[in-house]
Amino acid sequence: MNCEEILTLLDAYFDNELDLAKTIAIEEHLRTCASCRSQYELRVALRSRLDDPDLRYAAPNDFADQIRKRLALSSRPSRKILSFPVVAWIPAAVAAAAVFGAFVYANIGRLIPTETTSLVAEVASDHIRSLIGTHLIDVESSDQHTVKPWFAGKVDFSPPVRDFADQGFKLVGGRLDYVKGNNVAVLVYRFKSHYVSLFICRERTPEAAPEQKSFDYQGYNLVYWNANGLDCWAVSDAAPGALHEFVKIQREEHS
């Protein structure tokens, strides 16, 4: 082989992609040809410089979890959540909620913009998933001084955390969730036999930050409000009255 042929195959040789005969031929050539050898050495030098972990971009810490979450959302559209294992425990209640929820869902769809509808669905679905899965809380504590610092560095704002056990809403912990592409702080409260998830995130759409708003979604009650540049969503299967009481306490505390 002449130099031109050698150079054509040099990268394949360097990458161990050649058969034995060609490999031997190239090795023989490189022993005697300084010019081709320098091309080979160039590749060796490049490879050794590229073999550096710093040149690889590491994925953000929580990224695998975000992907899992997206996959779960995509494979479990909100309507199907109703027929998830929960039904095995309390079929009648869920079936009733399904009928009621479908009715309400069909109606709110007509009353409010699609963007909000899908946000309602996502927040409610997150809450429902947290109950049927294992991811109800990341940090388990009724101590606000434990829960609040836990969020530092996980969200880019400081969520207001207070325990309201004496008013019936006991803080049980917090978790990190992901709604509409944003990290969201979720505080979890217990009210009698119900859980209340309080989603807090940075204000997304200032122009759409209206008065307090209530929604129903598949038998769950949701209340949205905006305070101090934060969007808040309270979600629960507790009665609307109880949820509104919860929201009232929260708003009084932080206004």
Partner 1 sequence: MVLLSDYSTSSGYAVDEEKISRGSAVMESEMKGDKINIAVDANQYGMNDQGRRIHFENQMLPLMPEAYNLARWIMKNEPDARDVVQDAYLKAFRYFESFHGDSGRAWLLRIVRNVCYDALRARDSQRNIVSLDEETAAEVPDSKPSPNVLAIQNSTKLRIREALEALPLEFKTVIILREFDGLSYKEISDIAGVPVGTVMSRLSRARRQLAALLQEEGENV
Q: Let me know: does 198 contact 247? Beta carbons within 8 Å.
A: no
**Does 103 participate in binding partner 1 (rule CB under 8 A)?**
yes
Alpha carbon 219 to its chain's center:
24
**Does 68 participate in binding partner 1 (rule CB under 8 A)?**
yes
Q: Nearer to partner 1 by C-beta: 53 or 241?
A: 53
Q: Nearer to partner 1 by C-beta: 84 or 164?
A: 84
| Binding residues with partner 1: total (CB under 8 A) | 54
Q: Nearer to partner 1 by C-beta: 105 or 150?
A: 105
**Does 208 participate in binding partner 1 (rule CB under 8 A)?**
no
Q: Let me know: does 131 contact 175? Beta carbons within 8 Å.
A: no
| Cβ neighbour number for residue 12 with a 10 Å cutoff | 14
**Residue from 33, 87, 108, 249 in contact with partner 1 (CB under 8 A):** 87
**Residue from 4, 19, 52, 207 in contact with partner 1 (CB under 8 A):** 52
Smallest gap from Cβ 70 to partner 1, in A, equals: 5
Phi-psi region of 153 (alpha: psi -120 to 50; beta: other; left: phi over 0): left
**Does 153 participate in binding partner 1 (rule CB under 8 A)?**
no
**Residue from 49, 114, 211, 255 in contact with partner 1 (CB under 8 A):** 49
Q: Let me know: does 191 contact 169? Beta carbons within 8 Å.
A: yes
Q: Let me know: does 102 contact 80? Beta carbons within 8 Å.
A: no
Q: Which two tokens stand for residue 169?
A: 């809403």
Q: Let me know: does 210 contact 204? Beta carbons within 8 Å.
A: no
**Residue from 85, 206, 210, 241 in contact with partner 1 (CB under 8 A):** 85
Q: Is 20 helix (H, G, I), strand (E, B) or coil?
A: helix
Smallest gap from Cβ 114 to partner 1, in A, equals: 21
Residue whose C-alpha is closest to residue 245's, from 218, 221, 220, 216: 221
| Cβ neighbour number for residue 93 with a 10 Å cutoff | 13
* Contacting range for partner 1; rule: CB under 8 A; set: 2-10, 167-175, 188-196, 207-215: 2-10
Q: Residues 11 to 40: which contact partner 1 by CB under 8 A?
A: 11-12, 15, 17, 38
Q: Is 97 helix (H, G, I), strand (E, B) or coil?
A: helix
Query: Which parts of this chain interact with partner 1 (CB under 8 A)?
Result: 7-8, 10-12, 15, 17, 38, 41-52, 54-60, 63-64, 66-68, 70-72, 74-76, 79-80, 82-85, 87-88, 91-92, 95-96, 98-99, 102-103
